[in-house]
Structure 1
Amino acid sequence: MKVQHLSILAICLMIVASCTPAKKEGAENPEGAQMEEQVQEDTAKEEPTAHATLNSASGSSVTGTATFRQVGEMTVRMSVEAHNLSPGEHALHLHQNGDCSAPDATSAGGHWNPGGMEHGQRGVGEFHAGDIINLTADADGNVSWSEDIVGWTIGGSDSTNILNKGVIIHDKQDDFVTQPTGAAGGRVACGVIMEGSM
């Protein structure tokens, strides 16, 4: 009789155990819930972006785009695509005003220079925050260039924030010596840096 009761009890326990629903993953697991929240937060914290549409200036037919993406705390990746340039080197700078209204783009003002530095070559001695590089246009007048620029931010402090600055492509190359412009010649393209993607 005792054996029968024990058998019935064992069968009942197995039935109860098999009917108990399995734990839902993360439902009673605070670590799982925290990991899910962290993934959602990381997705929400996308790197800031900005862009500028480059329009012709000074009677040129140059067009293009400049895009910007924050890739580090004080580093922005700048990418430029431009067309209809004369083959060869052309200075690329950020200018202090996001204003391309003048036909020759002089409304963009001088080079962006919040630190009051001498004009020069980026990474070598003193240089303006807006001194970038010489772009090299191919035989068809096209250029595609990208580089990480240290010392810039998209938003934030006025001394590092590139928003509402002018992107200028010049007619000539920058000699990195002549003050205050590098003898880069006229402004053949101008764009205003706006927040967000194109």
Structure 2
Amino acid sequence: MKAILSIAALTFIAASSAGLAQDKQTATADFVGADGKASGRATLTAAAGGGVLIEVEVTGLPGNKWVAFHIHETGKCDAAGRHESAGKHFNPSNAEHGLLSAKGPHAGDMPNQYVGQDGVLRAQVFDTMVTLDGKTDGIRGRALIVHSNSDDYRSQPAGDAGERLACGVIK
């Protein structure tokens, strides 16, 4: 009977450890719109060689339009304040803004995303400049933001991306 309990205990410990390792490799962000209502979700997965894959679906956006999609420095999504509580773009290296800037980009700068006619943004974005839990490049506890305009990839400090339409804290 002791051997069976020991094997069961070892199996439980191994399964728990695997679950913890998987939890460290994934995160989610639940989006709220400017009206404070739930509007979507992102699933984030750490890549073995570095970087993070972000799979996102956000509803209630203006359709047939390119919009900016960024990682912001603060994990707060106050809809009453138009999500300004999320702070600036995540920028641990103090780079200039923009994928086309000679002195950029910020780690939180990502390519524009297309919102279909149905008002839903569906995308998979791979950001090579961040990790989920790194010391300086970690994004867990920060925010994902969908803006009202596309990012021009050059203007300082945020690409002239417009209002913050949806925000999700990375957990």
How many corresponding residue pairs? Answer: 153
Equivalence for 1:181: 158
What CA RMSD, in Å, does the superposition of the two structures yield over aligned residues? 2.5
Deviating 4+ runs (over 3 angstroms) = 59-62, 122-125
Alignment partner of 1:64 is 2:40: yes
Calculate the TM-score normalised by the size of structure 2. 0.80
Gaps of 5+ in 2: 1-13
Alignment partner of 1:126 is 2:124: no
Residue 82 of structure 1 aligns to which amino acid in structure 2? V
Among 51, 56, 60, the alignment partner of 1:84 is 60
Deviations 1:119-161 (A, max 9, x none): 011798610011112110111111211132212211121x210
In 2: Cα distance, 1:90 partner to 1:109 partner? 18
Q: Percent identity?
A: 34
Residue 48 of structure 2 aligns to which amino acid in structure 1? G
Gaps of 5+ in 1: 1-39
Which 10-residue stretch deviates more, 126-135 or 146-155? 146-155
- 1:15-164 maps to which residues of 2 (within 5 A)? 44=18, 45-46=21-22, 48-57=25-34, 59=35, 63-87=39-63, 88-103=65-80, 104-121=82-99, 126-157=104-135, 159-164=136-141
Deviations 1:56-85 (A, max 9, x none): 12x487711111011224221111101111
Query: CA offset at residue 102 of structure 1?
Result: 4.8
Calculate the TM-score normalised by the size of structure 1. 0.70
In 2: Cα distance, 1:123 partner to 1:49 partner? 30
